[in-house]
Structure 1
Amino acid sequence: MPLLDALGLDLERRPDAPLHRQLYERLIDGIAAGAIKPGEKLPSTRDLAQFLGVSRNTIMLAFEHLTAEGFLEGQSGSGTYVAREPPSKAATPAPARINPALRAAGTLDRSFACGAGFADVPATLRHMRRPVPFRSNFPAVDAFPVQVWAKLAADIYRKMSPELAGELMGEGDPQGYAPLREAIVEHVTLGRGLVCRPENVVVFAGAQHAVDLACRILLTEGETAWCEDPGYDGAYASVTAAGARPVAVPVDADGLDVAAGVARAPDARLAYVSPSKQFPLGMSLSLERRRALLDWAGRADAWILEDDYDAEFRYAGRPLPALHALDREARVIYLGTFSKTLFPGIRLGFAVVPDALVEAFVAARSVTGRYSPMLEQALVARFMSEGHFASHVRRMRKLYAQRQAHLLDALARRLGNWMTPEPTDTGMEIVARLRPGLSARRVAAAAVQEGLELMPLSALAREAEVDDLLTIGFSAFSAEQMDEGVETLRTVLLRLESTSRAP
């Protein structure tokens, strides 16, 4: 490739500069120096990856950032070209895959310090949610029924009466669009065994929004809250931001260890739990533990946040009923999200709250974002009421089962010397145990350099010793993407192995 030979794109594997970042900077330098002319066509991502000896994901990451910043232009069916009027060279381009606004905010010379509640927000909550192999908990946006969605949206606009326009294009109800709340009640009643009314449902901008607001409402400064260990970092962050203290409670094969929680913080005001599929380890909370947790909440006058984040995607057998379905004392706040069942960009979730808390939640919702966009709520309501949601979930169950099977086969064939993956009957990712001597943090850090994303469970742990465990997502990736990712990960593991053996 004469163009690339002229540029001298000799990428180096360095911990301080991922390969995609190096390529991004080299191409900007080439454009700024005139070595790559405006309007000039670049090699395909596949050809460029082969030429440089890197994964295709590395090339795609670099191209995506250059396109977003105006240096490159993609032409459908033709390829990628240098923009005819590229911007001047950025003095300090923003690091890859991190929101530039967040990085900028962190470098400003401010006259005040960040409040203690937000001083240690986990970096995992700041990542742009994009499907890089093997990101966990990311739905198959490539299989979303876009044409059905578009037809419903067009129909809503085409048939919008002045009265409906006033409802959907005016100010919304902080509690949520009534037809959507009705559709949610039907969904959780039939699918998860809840007994509730539309009046118990509050719509949020995703489940994390609901977690955060629940912590603000239910916790006061200095109180304690149980959080699973390892567990969802957003729960720890929200408890801390509310001025309370998260208490790490271990999990085992039966889920949250209720007895350990009682021993550590018997008077905790709140417990966050993911009973259908514990995040990130994947087990279900046993029926005995569910009853013990509800008994404790009743005795302690405590509340339980039940995060039912991907229970819809169960491939085998019937799941246990939601914890909320077993609650006889109205202590459970049930959380659901459309970010997993539909797509992350929809930013809609919901909470099913006890009667005694409805007014508090609606009042708090009215001052934290006021309400979610009404047109999106109306579109989801139509998608659900006309049966498209149920059909989509059924298709995704089948697709995710197929994708998991493909990944398990590829891992067994190509990576069996380094890890043992555990199949799952629910969700979008598996947990793999590394062989003795391998660190999940080290493997994940090396994989990032090659354009992959793996989650070491130790990043979600407070006291639990889990540095031999990784989550590997499969739901968002085709067989081809997973095969390429597995080969890239094999290269990473071989390199780490050779490094550890070097004298």
Structure 2
Amino acid sequence: MNSPALPLSFNPAGIELDRRQGLSRQLYQALRLRVLDGRLAGGTRLPASRDLAQALGISRNSVVRAYDQLYAEGFIEGRVGDGTYVALLPEAQLPIKKLSTKLSTGISTGLPTGLSTKSAISLDLHPAKVIHNEALELLQKHHLSTPPSGPPRAFRVGVPAFDLFPFEIWAKLNAAFWRKPDLRHLCYGDSAGDARLRGLIAAYLRSSRGLQCTAEQIVITSGAQQGISLCAQLLVEPGAGVAVENPGYRAAGHAFAVAGGRLHGVAVDQEGIDCRQLAALEDCRLAYVTPSHQYPTGVIMSLARRLELLAWAERTQGWIIEDDYDGEYRYSGAPLAPLAALDRQGRVLYVGTFGKVAFPALRLGYLVLPPTLVQAFARRRAVDVRHSEVSTQAVMAEFMAAGHFQRHIRRMRRAALSRRNTLLAHWPVDIQGVGPLPNVAAGLHLTLAVDSLARERELLAQAAGADVEISGLSNYWLPESAQPPDQRAGLVLGFAAVPEAEIEAALQRLRKAWQA
């Protein structure tokens, strides 16, 4: 059978697919790489899914899934009545062809391109750095709040559906570990973490995120917060600028402030962090971002903005800390590829956690690091805690190897989607001063605008009186933000913490309180 005629602007020659593995993922990765390295230029017309499937000898569904993922990440776009094209990305913003396709193999130890000289890459570690005066004033002015404790309630932010965790399976694996433990597990462990777990995490990220990393690039941490703190300790010079999203995850900002960094709150728009504002910060070589689902606004960073951010890091020899805290939760298609999957210069440090797919008390996370940074991070961590608790790592490794982890993620994603839908379906409408519900395509929370700070406080007080837990958006802004106070107001609601029946009951109480 003859292959169908394809547009002259696209040639599938060279795309080789291994039929023993996921065809749609392989095709997606092949097309994405061709966009990034310039072989598929912006404006190139792609063949219809049926034609490409026939040319490659695969099912049309595989092509459709690959195209859907590329659509979701902004690599391609549809033109009504005219087919599918590679997205046109602004050349001034996005010098795609200048981005190298090879991972950097070396790194200077001098600032601003290397590790903080105060953190001592040679491991001749000195007493803690003196906190910068302005950072200390910031901590005193607006101290870090303690996360809510006790059983989860509607609508607690940052809590997954851990009532669905397979505790019986976990208990059996844990009992099996302690019934006859391997003696090597009872000695001091590798400060970078259990080798088997690191390998399984790397395999998971390659298959689910398209992040081409190895076990040797991973350092296990006690949750995402420790990973962020390690980045702050090793990359921040006292008095140096650190860019954080504003509004954003305040605990990350506190980690950088404690390390002596001078915090710069950078605005977030509908495409993510404002890179023009970031580029204007002359003293800044470090940026902390949550691109897959901005915390707390929920914005998903566009492809153009991601590449613009990478270009900034390459141009300034800076670092990007990517916190992918709830990236597993995407409700149409596969999870988006992280910023680190686009990085070809070794400028992105990726922070991951098990807390949002298992439960926060697990305190298990990881860093995916450029190869040249792994040893310094592992040794710095060893100074604080020597190594992670051994049995939790071993049990999680077995949990992943036996397939329980992937099955659990699928279950958690379905549950979060159902709980999201319940919240959206029963949300009280026409509440004075509250904006419309947003489109929630990912994550475990949503954010609504409120017309004034006074109204936000009133709504929160009424919700607390109805035994409903809601966070105020104003708490996520840096105290010295230039944004007028009323423009910082809003409501942040987590929707995954409790089952659907509890969500409906909480919304009934909320409706009565707000409409009284």
What TM-score, normalized by structure 1, do the two folds share?
0.71
Task: Please say if 1:304 is aligned against 2:320.
Answer: yes
Q: Are 1:223 and 2:244 matched, yes or no?
A: no
AA of the residue aligned to 1:215: A
Match of 1:354 among 370, 374, 384: 370
1:379 and 2:379 equivalent?
no
Change in CA separation of 1:129 and 1:193 when aligned onto 2, cut-off 3 Å: farther
Q: Distance in 2 between matches of 1:435 and 1:262?
A: 31
Contact 1:441/1:467 (CA < 8 Å) preserved in 2? no
Q: 1:476 aligns with which of 494, 497, 507?
A: 497
Equivalents in 2 of 1:318, 1:356: separation in Å?
Answer: 30
Distance in 2 (CA, whole Å) between partners of 1:139 and 1:147 is: 18
Asked whether the 8 Å contact 1:334–1:351 carries over to 2, the reply is yes
Please name the residue that 1:275 is paired with. Answer: 291
Aligned to 1:315: 331
**Alignment counterpart, residue 185 of structure 1, candidates 202, 222, 229:** 202
Aligned residue type for 2:382: S
Give the Cα–Cα distance (whole angstroms) in 2 for the partners of residues 432 and 344 of structure 1: 25
Question: Could you say which residue in structure 1 is the equivalent of 2:460?
Answer: 444
Q: Is the 8 A contact 1:139 1:428 kept in 2?
A: yes
SS for the counterpart of 1:282 is coil
Which amino acid in the other structure matches residue 327 of structure 1?
D
Partner of 2:217: 200
Question: Which residue of the other structure, out of 411, 424, 435, is the alignment partner of 1:408?
Answer: 424
Query: In structure 1, what is the equivalent of residue 10 of structure 2?
Result: none
On the 8 A contact 2:144/2:250 being kept in 1, the answer is no
Q: Give the CA deviation at 1:471.
A: 1.1
Contact in 2 for aligned 1:309/1:336 (Cα 8 Å):
yes
2:187 is paired with a residue of what secondary structure?
A: coil
Counterpart Cα distance in 2 of 1:187 and 1:439: 44
**Matched residue type, 1:484:** A
CA deviations 1:175-196 (Å, max 9, x no partner) are 1011110111011111111121
Q: Please, which moves more after superposition, 404-413 or 304-313?
A: 404-413
Unpaired runs of 5+ in structure 1?
1-113, 496-503
Greater shift in the superposed pair: 468-477 or 408-417: 408-417
Aligned equivalent of 2:513, options 466, 489, 492: 492
Match of 1:237 in 2: 254
Q: Does the alignment pair 1:432 with 2:448?
A: yes
The structure whose residues are more often helix, as a share, is 1
| CA-CA distance at 1:451 after TM superposition | 2.8
Q: Deviations over 1:412-446 (max 9, x none)?
A: 46969955221311111112234679622332233
Q: Please give the per-residue CA displacement for 1:303-330, whole angstroms capped at 9, x wherever unaligned.
A: 1100011111111134442111111110
Partner SS state of residue 411, structure 2:
helix
What is aligned with 1:140?
161
Give TM-score, length-normalised by structure 2. Answer: 0.69
Q: Distance in 2 between matches of 1:115 and 1:262?
A: 26
Q: Which residue of 2 aligns with 1:94?
A: none
Supply the distance in 2 between the matched residues of 1:267 and 1:361 (Cα, whole angstroms).
24
Q: 4+ residue stretches of structure 1 with deviation over 6 A? A: none
Question: Could you say which residue in structure 1 is the equivalent of 2:100?
Answer: none
Indicate whether 1:343 and 2:359 are aligned: yes
Percent identity, please: 36
Residues 1:406 and 1:155: Cα distance change in structure 2 (over 3 Å): same
| Match for residue 395 of structure 1 among 411, 419, 422 | 411
Question: Secondary structure of 1:420's match?
Answer: coil
CA-to-partner distance for each residue in 1:52-100, whole Å, 9 max, x for gaps?
xxxxxxxxxxxxxxxxxxxxxxxxxxxxxxxxxxxxxxxxxxxxxxxxx
Match of 2:304 among 275, 288, 291: 288
Which residue is equivalent to 1:154? 175
Distance 2:144 2:292 in 1: 26
Determine if contact 2:453/2:474 at 8 Å carries over to the other structure: no
Task: For residue 261 of structure 1, report the CA deviation from its aligned partner.
Answer: 1.1
Distance 1:130 1:327 in 2: 40
Task: Give aligned pairs, total.
Answer: 377
Partner of 1:455 in structure 2? 471
Instruction: Tell me: CA distance 1:355–1:437, structure 2 relative to 1, closer, same or farther (3 Å).
Output: closer
Please give the secondary structure, in 2, of the residue aligned with 1:191.
Answer: helix
**Cα distance in 2 for residues equivalent to 1:198 and 1:159:** 26
Q: Secondary structure at the match of 2:287?
A: strand
Matches within 5 A, 1:20-35: none
Superposed counterparts of 1:88-107, under 5 Å: none
On the 8 A contact 1:267/1:300 being kept in 2, the answer is no
Q: Secondary structure at the match of 2:237?
A: coil
Deviations 1:127-170 (A, max 9, x none): 4374121101201111111111112112222343xxx1x33233
